[in-house]
Amino acid sequence: MPKGPSISTLEVVKAKVREVVLAAKEGALIGSEESLIADLGVSRSTLRQAARLLEREGLLRVKRGINGGYYGSRPDEKTIQTAVSAYLDTLDMKYDDVTAVASVLWVEVLRRAASLKSEAARKLAEHHRRKVLEVDPDATFHEVVEVEQASHEAIFDLVQSRYIQLIFHINQAFSVGRFPLAASRDGTPQHREFVRAWREAKLLELAAIAEGDVELGTMAARHIRNIWHRRFWSKKPS
């Protein structure tokens, strides 16, 4: 039986193709199979194995047949969130561990946002403050989530923390997947108390950003994460 390429050879070819892909625009043709075999000086089987690995990473799209070829691609954040969230489920991950990581990340993001003390930060805070004040005391869970997520994305953009944003989104996707019935408690006294507490905590977060108060931002971020934790965790899954 013929031997496959060594791990080192496969990794070298994979790294070379990845480098070409990342240097090109998304969707660009990086070469035909024949041209890549010639350029890289590798066998067809080695190139195809490397290509399969890069396809799994979302960095390559292979078109077969006449006029086919290898096209650069980019992994989609939503796909990454779904895949990692599903993987966490296979590990029987503890919800407390996931929310603890998300809380640490959010506290750091608020700390950075409050430390900016810029006009852009002040305007962002004022805009989202108005949105929070518009939330009715009887707002549904999904209505609150919509306002919360809009403020998250704006604050992430403000501090330019793409990596933290990705990890936070993965944790968020996992939490929502574990608790799909979170909205079923709309209209209850417990839900109305959640809305009240969330509004107060969110206004504190935004005030910290507007005023450049890092200490207040840290405190408010921890407080609001505890509020969300209690909202999801108030009815443990069986």
Task: Indicate the fold that domain 7-72 takes in CATH.
Answer: Arc Repressor Mutant, subunit A (1.10.10)
pTM: 0.68
User: Cα(165)–Cα(154) distance, rounded to whole angstroms?
Assistant: 11
| pLDDT value, residue 223 | 96
| Token couple for 60 | 């390559």
In which order are the strands placed within the sheet that holds 29-31?
29-31, 69-72, 60-63
pLDDT of residue 237: 42
How far apart, in Å, are the Cα atoms of 140 and each of 4, 136, 190?
57, 9, 12
* Boundaries of every domain in the chain: 7-72, 78-233
Per-residue pLDDT reduced to its tens digit, 187-205: 889 899 999 999 999 999 9
pLDDT of residue 229: 83
Tokens for 74?
């980019």
In this prediction, the residues of the chain whose per-residue pLDDT falls under 70 are 1-7, 176-184, 233-238
Helix (H) or strand (E) holding 1: none
Q: Quote the CA–CA distance of 49 and 81 in Å, as a whole number.
A: 25
